[in-house]
Amino acid sequence: MSRRWTLASSVAGAVVVALDGTVLTVAQPRLQGDLGASFAEVQWTSTAYLVAVAGLLVFAGRLGDRYGQQRVFALGMLGFGAASAGIACAPGVRWIIALRAVQGVFGALLQPATLGMLRAAYPPDRLARPLAVRTAAIGLAAAAGPLVGGALVTGLGWRAVFFVNVLPALVFGLPALLRPRRPAASSRTPLDVPGAVLLAVALSCLVHALTARPVSGVGLAVAAVAAAVLVRHERRTASPLLPPSVIGSRASGAALGVLVVVSAALFGTLFVATYVLQRRLGLDPLAGSLRSLPLAVLMVASAALCPVLLRRFGTRGTATAATALLALGVLVLSGAGSTPALGCAFALLGAGFGTVMVAATQVVVRRAEVAVAGVAGGLQQTALNVGPALGVATATALIGAGTTTALLTLAAVAALGVPLARALPGTDGGDAGAGTPHTTEERQLPHTARNR
């Protein structure tokens, strides 16, 4: 595959997943009425997917490293589309729940591969721009999802929203399946199946515990025990699922921490913002959605601008300022009552999150060797699954005390990302390991050839 087609495939995979989540939210009320489902069953149409995808992301990334990112991307894309078609034809809500879990398995295969393919196709010093394009596309999908979902549900019914995934799955999945890139020989390391099982149990229980209402203490306990056993296993095994070169990097650890914190703050804030707009300010859902539109616009714009900011101010400066902007946006929203104040708050949220997404993701992905790029992508996606679950759980627990209290707490959560951002590299190539070639082929190239 050419670099342009690789980028297009990566963007398509990310957009399909992002769009699927937003349109499902719009379709759930109609789905519940048509199938006579309970509220708990409707909630499980989301939870089944989240639990399945969270537990398998890192192992799926390892499969991509071993068998080829494009091959795993193709399997994930085609399986995701097939599961979507099955959901659209499902006779009852239990079928939908089961198929959503299957869709989560294929989504787990798909998501790390979209980042692993970019790492394999682009040299480290050119990753920021394709990552910015990918992030901007996700922002557009998040903004368009409610509109597309609303139009389809209103005009054709809830089943129509799931057919949306079928065409892009075929268009991008089949070429990747027919012409896969061969994985590097160095990636033929044994699969750490026990580690994968332990990680799946830990993450699945964590996400399930956080999405349960109320939060499940038993689930958190099981997740903690599984995580402790995983740490011991990974230290002793010869071929760990989580390579030390990925999780042992101070910069990568800080970047993953930033992603967890800012995604928790953003999604928790968006959960509370619904109550601010509709209950405190008395706006209807459409009017509330229009007030929040600056978030999507600024997320797209900031993602596109981020490569320029990274070159000018470096990763540390860019991510630190963006994280502070996000925290400021939550603070402004906590006291906003007028349309200009709401617009300013959502604009700050979008500008901060879009910038941090690109800056932190490029640290995680570019510092990984090509042979473990899938694992790095899986960790990045895991952070963006755990963070929102944690943020919404925090918001749910605090909203009874008032929206202002919940938002002030979430602003404090966002502020925790500032010291983490300060631990990122000062510049793209200013710290040990950053900007240096990570593969044998890149090390053999002259310096001028690598930066051509």
Q: 384-420 pLDDT, tens per residue? A: 888 888 888 888 888 888 888 999 999 999 999 999 9
C-alpha torsion 230→381→166→22, nearest 10: 120
What whole-number distance in Å separates Cα of residue 151 and Cα of residue 139?
A: 19
Task: Output the six-digit token pair for 78.
Answer: 């085609």
Q: Would you state the pLDDT for residue 442?
A: 40
What whole-number distance in Å separates Cα of residue 404 and Cα of residue 40?
A: 28
Q: Would you state the pLDDT for residue 436?
A: 39
Cα–Cα distances (Å) from 407 to 150, 295, 417, in that order, read 28, 16, 16
Cα–Cα distances (Å) from 218 to 195, 231, 392, in that order, read 22, 20, 19
Cα–Cα distances (Å) from 9 to 22, 132, 164, 430, in that order, read 20, 15, 16, 31
Provide the residue-wise pLDDT of the chain in tens; the chain has 452 residues.
688 888 999 999 999 988 887 777 778 778 888 888 887 788 788 888 888 888 899 899 889 888 888 899 999 999 999 999 999 999 888 999 999 999 999 999 999 999 888 888 888 888 888 988 988 888 888 777 777 777 888 888 888 888 988 999 999 988 888 876 665 544 566 788 888 899 889 988 888 888 777 788 888 999 999 999 998 988 888 888 887 777 777 888 899 999 999 999 998 898 888 778 877 777 766 677 778 888 888 988 998 899 999 989 999 999 999 999 999 999 999 888 788 888 899 999 999 999 999 999 988 888 778 778 888 888 888 888 888 888 888 888 888 888 889 999 999 999 999 999 998 887 654 333 333 344 433 433 333 333 33
What whole-number distance in Å separates Cα of residue 280 and Cα of residue 26?
A: 22
DSSP 8-state assignment for residue 451:
T
Do 349 and 330 form a contact (C-beta atoms < 8 A)?
yes
Question: How many CA atoms, within 13 angstroms, populate the side-chain half-sphere of residue 293?
Answer: 11
Q: Is 431 helix (H, G, I), strand (E, B) or coil?
A: coil
Query: What does the radius of gyration of the chain's CA atoms come to, in whole angstroms?
Result: 21
Do 302 and 139 form a contact (C-beta atoms < 8 A)?
no
What whole-number distance in Å separates Cα of residue 350 and Cα of residue 344?
A: 10
What whole-number distance in Å separates Cα of residue 56 and Cα of residue 64?
A: 12
Question: How many CA atoms, within 13 angstroms, populate the side-chain half-sphere of residue 432?
Answer: 3
| Closest C-alpha to 73, from 10, 4, 11, 3 | 10
C-alpha torsion 294→295→300→302, nearest 10: 100
Q: Would you state the pLDDT for residue 188?
A: 63
What whole-number distance in Å separates Cα of residue 310 and Cα of residue 426?
A: 10
Report how far Cα 446 is from the mean position of its chain's Cα atoms. 36
Do 52 and 104 form a contact (C-beta atoms < 8 A)?
yes
| Closest C-alpha to 148, from 278, 20, 30 | 20
CA torsion sign, 434 to 440 to 445 to 446? positive
What whole-number distance in Å separates Cα of residue 255 and Cα of residue 354?
A: 14
What whole-number distance in Å separates Cα of residue 10 and Cα of residue 172?
A: 9
Cis bond upstream, residue 425 (ω within 30): no
Burial class for 441, CB neighbours closer than 10 Å (0-12, 13-18, 19+): exposed
What whole-number distance in Å separates Cα of residue 203 and Cα of residue 382?
A: 9
Q: Would you state the pLDDT for residue 139?
A: 82
- For 15-53, give the DSSP string: HHHHHHHHHHHHHHHHHHHHHT--HHHHHHHHHHHHHHH
What whole-number distance in Å separates Cα of residue 206 and Cα of residue 204?
A: 5
Q: Which helix (H) or strand (E) holds 232?
A: helix 217-236
